[in-house]
Amino acid sequence: MNHWLKIKIPIDSEVDLKSEMAAPQHVTDYYIQHGDKQLCFWLTDDSNLFGVSKVLRSFCCKRADIHSIVLEYVKPAKGQGWVSLEVYGFNNRSIGSLGSARYSIKSLEWLSEVQIELANEFGFTVCCLELGYDT
């Protein structure tokens, strides 16, 4: 792997990955050997594919298709709210996401820290979007 960033998942944070494309087999093999069951962000040696792996789940997309990584959240009201890091393409469409189905300050803070690390490590454009309350 050209870039490999391991991030520990806080015990009280849920993380779910949503994507249409799984990681290539060589990335999965590398994760099994070196991932330590942590959340791992990666960029392939040719810098063509970016992704994230967590145990046997993964998210993957072409690096060139990524416009930005947006921290989105909905605060709880009648519903539980949610927090998500959305990977957006140049067509303003979500390519994939990493997030928690329930809003919590800890999840919001943790994903905010992850977003900053992704910007620093991989050079992504990032922003934050509060989407109001879950009614």
**pLDDT digits 0-9 by tens, 10-53:** 755 666 667 767 788 888 888 888 888 788 999 988 878 999 88
Nearest to residue 70, comparing CAs of 3, 135, 118, 12? 118
The pLDDT value given to residue 15: 63
**What is the pLDDT of the chain when averaged over all its residues?**
88
**Pick from 35-39, 64-68, 73-77, 117-121: least confident:** 35-39
Phi and psi for 91 in degrees, rounded to 5? -90, 15
Range of the domain at 112: 3-134
* DSSP code per residue over 2-40: -EEEEEPPPTT---EEEESSPPPHHHHHHHHHH-TTSEE
Number of separate domains in the chain? 1
85 pLDDT higher than 90: yes
Q: Residue 8: give its domain's CATH number.
A: 3.40.1570
pTM: 0.87
Determine the Cα–Cα distance for residues 36 and 43; give it in Å rounded to an integer. 18
The β-bridge relationship of strands 82-89 and 66-76 is antiparallel
For 58-69, how does the pLDDT look when each residue is reduced to its tens digit (9 = 90+)?
A: 888 899 999 999
